Structure 1
Amino acid sequence: MRPLTSKPVLLLALGNESRGDDALGPLLARRLHAWLTSTGRDSAVEIIEEFQLQIEHTLDLKGRDLVLFVDAGEGTRPPFDFFAARAGATVGYTTHAVAPEALLGLYARVHAAAPPPAFILCLAGEGFELGEPLSATAATHLEAGFTFCQRLFDSPSLPSWQASCNEPIHVGRTPIA
């Protein structure tokens, strides 16, 4: 059961705008927020921007019907990968960043319940150095990701999102932390 204050869909956008293409997550989140607001879909979607995931984000997952993690990735198939996230091993107590799969595993452990269905949209990036601007290539991937997300949020349901996956399970490609 979802708490009264939470929206059924959560988008967690990750990235650092000071590191070139790592800005893809926050930039996409802002575009989507404007579009969701203009179309009246914002009542169903909460957007949170962060530099990186922390264990406290398990509380943000509670009561959600769907979760979408958005991040930039190095070595990602252009323009992006979209796949279901599976709960993975939990993190140690000294880590500063948590992978989406680890966050889902931690959620199951902390809340003694299955995490909500979650997906990862990993936008292909190529430059992540401090002080770099967004690359022209990443800007085109941002546009493709925005168009793709419009379709996702036109039909925010588990079967629809599963049908949109380009991989059955996340294997090997890691978003930039």
Structure 2
Amino acid sequence: MNKAAMVIGYGNELRGDDAIGQRIANTVSSWHLSSVQSLAVHQLTPELAEPLAHTDLAIFVDACIDGQGENVQVELISPNGSGVVSCHLGDPRSLLALTEYIYGHCPSAWLVTVPGANFEISDRLSSTAQNGISIALIKIVHLLDQCQNLWVH
């Protein structure tokens, strides 16, 4: 069954706040939304291109270093425009480019970045990350609601 939206949270669960993306994806998954598939992954891999090609909306979620700003950022993104497609993916734009190249379609996409303070080896999140996760989940709900309204009309 094709899902209208996909949330992909990525990062290392053993590096403190780097687990933000996976934690958010797992929370979204626990909501059991019929039109949303949510994946928690260690890193973006080429295998994600196929399910992305069958969705209308992709929301990528990642941690960022606190020094880049204390606010959760939501940015509309598009495929990497370099024309170079690589199997070594490090960012959502490259994955979107691969998806478009192979399948001739990629979904509308957003990148949600959540500030973190501790990226040392740990399985605990900082208070900065915990606060950011709460804010990011609200922003993701808004993105999903906006797109659902577009699908209904």
TM-score range, shorter chain: 0.7 to 0.9
What CA distance in whole angstroms lies between the structure 2 residues aligned with 1:14 and 1:128?
A: 14
Letter in 1 for 2:133: L
Aligned positions, number: 147
- Structure 1 residue runs of 4+, over 6 Å off? none
Paired residue for 2:4? 8
Aligned pairs for 1:64-83 within 5 A = 64-74=55-65, 75-83=67-75
Q: Distance in 2 between matches of 1:120 and 1:158?
A: 20
Match of 1:50 in 2: 41
- Whether contact under 8 Å (1:66, 1:158) holds in the other structure is no
Does residue 62 (structure 1) correspond to residue 58 (structure 2)? The answer is: no
| Of 56, 60, 77, the match for 1:85 | 77
Cα distance in 1 for partners of 2:69, 2:9 equals 19
The reply on whether 1:32 has 2:22 as its aligned counterpart is: no
SS in 2 for 1:146: helix
Structure 2 residue ranges without an equivalent (≥5): none
- Give the alignment's TM-score, normalised by structure 1: 0.75
- What SS does structure 2 have at the residue aligned with 1:72? strand
How far apart, in 2, do the equivalents of 1:84 and 1:13 lie?
16
Unaligned runs of 5+ residues in structure 1 are 160-177
Query: Does the Cα contact within 8 Å between 1:69 and 1:119 map onto a contact in 2?
Result: yes
CA RMSD across the alignment: 2.0
Shift of 1:14: 0.6
1:138 aligns with 2:134: no
Partner of 1:174: none
Shift of 1:157: 4.7
The offset of 1:99, in angstroms, is: 1.0
Asked if 2 retains the 8 angstrom alpha-carbon contact of 1:82 and 1:120, the reply is yes
Quick one: percent identity of the two aligned structures? 27
For 1:116-150, what per-residue CA distance to the aligned partner results, in whole angstroms no more than 9, with x for missing partners?
Answer: 11110011112212226211111111111112222
Query: Does the 8 A contact of 1:80 with 1:123 survive in 2?
Result: yes
CA distance in structure 2 between the partners assigned to 1:152 and 1:127 by the alignment: 27
Distance in 1 (CA, whole Å) between partners of 2:100 and 2:55 is 14
Quote the residue 1:104 is aligned against. 96
How do 1:132-171 residues align onto structure 2 when only pairs under 5 Å count?
133-157=124-148
